[in-house]
A and B are shown apart, each in its own frame.
Chain A
C-alpha cells in the first residue's frame, strides 16, 4: 500500500499551520534591536537631469539620522547593479549594458528611480525627511514607449545613442522568407503582449544589519534566491566576501519572478547599516512597488505562419520588439531571447523558424522575468497565429493542431530553435481538454447564448514550456553569467528524523511539504519527522533559488541524489549491524534487510548507530549520516498541455465572462497533486488577468497611469470561475524523479486560450479584427461598435 504521506499523496501542507494562525515570519515582521528606517526619495519625472540635491532640510527634520545620495555611494566605492545575462546582437556585438546605479547619478530615468535615501529613527520621520529634500531637476524629453525609443528623439542613456540594447536573431531570415513565400497560405498577426506588474501580495522589504564585533553583514530580504543576491551584491555591488555576508529570505509572500532580482534597496540598506553601525529597515508600500518592482512582458510582435495546402506548417517568422525599461534588471536580456524564441516551435513540427528580437531602453520601470518569463510570450504568439490560421483556412483549430503535433514517438525531438524536447504526448492533453470542455456541444451552447443576446466563443492554447533551468553548460553558452544547478543536503539525525537543506526557496510553492514527501517515500520516515530548511545562506551551502518552475525538477533531483548517497552509506551501516555484505542489503519502507535471510534493522537504528557508534567500523566508515548533492540537469524539461477557455460577452457592455476554463497538463510525475492543482489555478488566474484585466500604462510623458489598485486591475474572486484541471503523466526521462514543472503553466497557457475565445466570440458578431490584451469591456465595446 502506498504511503499516505509519500509521492503521489495529496498531503496537507506542513507550512500551513503558521500561516493560518498568523505566525508566519515575513521580512516586515522582523525587527532588529536599535533599527533605523529608510525612505527613498523617488523621481517624479520620467527623465530628468538632477542638477542639485540639498540635503540640509532633510537633516533638519527631527529624527533624521543620515541622508545619502548617489554621490555618497560612488565616493564609498559602491558599484551599480549587475546584469546576470549577456546577449549578443546578430552582428556579434555584446548588448548595450549601461550603468545601473543604486541611487541616481546625475540623471533619473523613470518615475520612481531612487534619488536619495533618508534614514531616521522612525518610518514617519524618514518619510518626512525624504519629502524635505530639495532636488533641482531639469526635465528631459521622455521615452515612454518603444515607438519613441526607436524615434530616438532623446536617449535614455547617453552612451546608447539609438536606445537599442540589442538586435538579436535566431535562424536564417532569408531561408524562412523563402519558405513563407512558397507556402500555400500565409497568415499574419500583429500582437501586443501587455506590460504587467507582478504584484505579489507582500511588498518588498529589506533590512540591513551589521555586527561590528564579527564584521558580519546580514541582509533580510524578500527574495526568491538569497544566495544569488549574496553573490551579486557581495561580489559586484558592495565588495563583501561571502563568509562575512549572510542573506536571509524568511517567509516570502509570493514572488512570481519579481523577487528574483537584486534591487537597489537591498544594497543601500546593507551598506548604510555598516556605515551607521545599526540596522536599517526599508518597507515598500504598494505605490512604491508599482514603480520599483520589475515589470513583466511588454512585447510588440509581428508573426507570420506559412502553411501548405494540407494545413501543415512550413515556416514561422517572428519579429519582436521588447521593452527593457530604463535599466537592465538582473535577468532581463534573456527573457525575450533565450526564454522566448527557443519556444517558438510550440508543440509543432514547424521545420523552419526565424526570430528577430530587438530590445529597447525606455523611461519606464525595468522589465524582467514574470511568471513564465518569455514562454508566455512565445505561447501567445504561436497559439494566436495557429488559431488564426485555422479560422482563416477553415479547418477546426483542434484538427489543425493535431495535423502538426510532434508525435509521441518522435522524442527526443530536436526543434529548429535550439532545444531538444524530452518527452510529450500533445494529442493526449488536447483530447483530454476537449472532453472536459465538452467541445462537441459547443455550437449548441453558442446558439443558446446568442438567443439570450450574448456572444460565446471558445479558444485553445496548446502550450509548451521549457523549465528546470538549466543545463549550466547550455545556458553558459547562451550568455548566462552563472551556472544554474541546484544543491541539497540531507541531514539524518540520530533518532532518524531528517532535515533537508535546499538551495531552492519556497514563497508559496509548498516545498516544505513536497520535498518532505519525497524523503518520507524514500527513507520510510513519517513526513512529520522531516523538516525542510531554505532561505538562509548561513544554513544552506549554496543554491540558485526558485524560478522557472525549477524547484522539484532541479532541486528535487539534487535531493534524490543526496538521498542516494544517504541510502548507500546507511546500507553500509546496516550491513555492519547485520553482519552482512552491503551489496546484499536491501532497503524498503524504512527497513534494511539481507536478501534471503530474516535479518532486519530499522532506519532509526541505523541513524542512531551512525551517531552513537559504540561498535562502528571506523576503518571503513565515518560516523554521521549527512549527505549533500549538487545536480546540474542534462536538459531542460518540457511540460506541455492544452487549456481551453469558453467566454460569453455581453455586447451591451462589452464585459467578458469566463464561463468554462479547462486545463489538461502534463507535468510528468506528480508528488503532491493538491499542490500541483493549486499552482495551476494560480497560474491560470494570472493568465486570465493578463488577458482580460491587467495592463500597465504610461502616458506620453512617461507618467505611470496605473500606479495603484485603483487603476491596475488585479483579478478578484468574482472575476474568475472555478477551473477544471486534469493531468496526464509523461515522465521526464532524464531526471531521477521523472518530474517536469508546474508553477508557470497556467500563466503561459491561459492568455492565448482566453484571447482566442474572445476573438472567436467577436468573430461570431462579424468582428474579424483582433483586439489586444487586456480585452477590457471598453475595448470590446469599441471593437463591436467599430469605434
Chain B
C-alpha cells in the first residue's frame, strides 16, 4: 500500500493507504478528524472543504496520495487553541448555522474567500459559496456571517 505523509493542522502525520482512499476518508477515518463531513457523492455540497497549502479544496474529490507532502488545515485546526478564528466567531454571532453539518465546509470556504477579498459584497459572497450547500439557513445568515468574518479578519 502506498504510504503518505502530510501535515494536518500543524501536525505531521504518516499513513499507509490504499491508492483509492479519498483524502476525506483519510482525514475522517484514519486521523479521526470528523469535523470534515461528506454530504454528497458528486462533488457539489462542499461539506468536505478543507485547505490544502492554503487553498480551499473538496477533500472528497481528491485522493489521499495526491495530498502527499501537503500542508492541510481542517476545521479543527482553524482556532488558535481556545481562541476562535474570527470567521468561526462570526458564524456564531450571526446565527450562520443551524444543524451544523455544512458548517465546517462553509467556514473553510468563507475563510478562503476572505483571504482574497477582505470586504466582499453580498453578491460576491453568494457567488463564492456556489459550491457549498446548506439546507437549513436559507443562506441569509451565512452571507451575513461571511461578510462580518471577513471584516474581522482584515
Contacts and interface: CB of A to CB of B under 8 A. Distances in A.
A binds B: yes
Interface of A: 12-13, 15-26, 28-29, 124, 199-203, 251-254, 256, 285-287, 507-510, 674-675, 677-679, 681-686, 708-710, 714-718, 720, 722-723, 746
Given A15-B100, A22-B36, 8 more contacts: A29-B28, A200-B101, A201-B37, A286-B41, A508-B99, A681-B137, A682-B135, A709-B45
A609 to B, nearest CB: 35
Say whether chain B's binding surface is mostly helix, strand, loop, or mixed. loop
Contacts, number: 181
A253 B74 contact: no
Contacts of B123: 718
Contacts of A23: 35, 76
A717 B132 contact: yes
**Which of B18, B39, B45, B78 counts the most A-chain CB atoms under 10 A from its CB?**
B39
B39 A201 contact: yes
B126 A681 contact: no
Contacts of A21: 35, 75-76, 78-79, 84, 88
B136 A254 contact: yes
A interface, over-half SS: loop
B1 to A, nearest CB: 13
Interface string B92-135: 11010111111110010000000000000011011101101111
Contacts of A251: 99-100
Interface residues of B, number: 55
B135 A714 contact: yes
Interface string B4-32: 00000000000000101000000010000
Nearest to A288: B41
Interface of B: 18, 20, 28, 33-42, 44-45, 47, 74-76, 78-79, 84, 88, 91-93, 95, 97-104, 107, 122-123, 125-127, 129-130, 132-143
12 contacts: A13-B95, A21-B75, A201-B45, A201-B47, A201-B133, A251-B100, A252-B99, A253-B99, A508-B99, A683-B138, A717-B127, A718-B130
Contacts of B28: 29
B132 to A, nearest CB: 7
A120 to B, nearest CB: 15
Contacts of B75: 20-22
A647 B33 CA distance: 44
A720 B138 contact: yes
Given A22-B76, A29-B34, A507-B99, A717 B42 contact: no
A717 B35 contact: no
A679 B137 CA distance: 7
Contact of B40 (A25, A708, A717): A708
Given A508-B98, A717-B143, A26 B37 contact: yes
B41 A19 contact: no
Contacts of B107: 20
Point out which of A15, A22, A285, A679 has the most chain B C-beta atoms below 10 A from its C-beta: A22
A112 B55 CA distance: 37
A674 B91 CA distance: 13
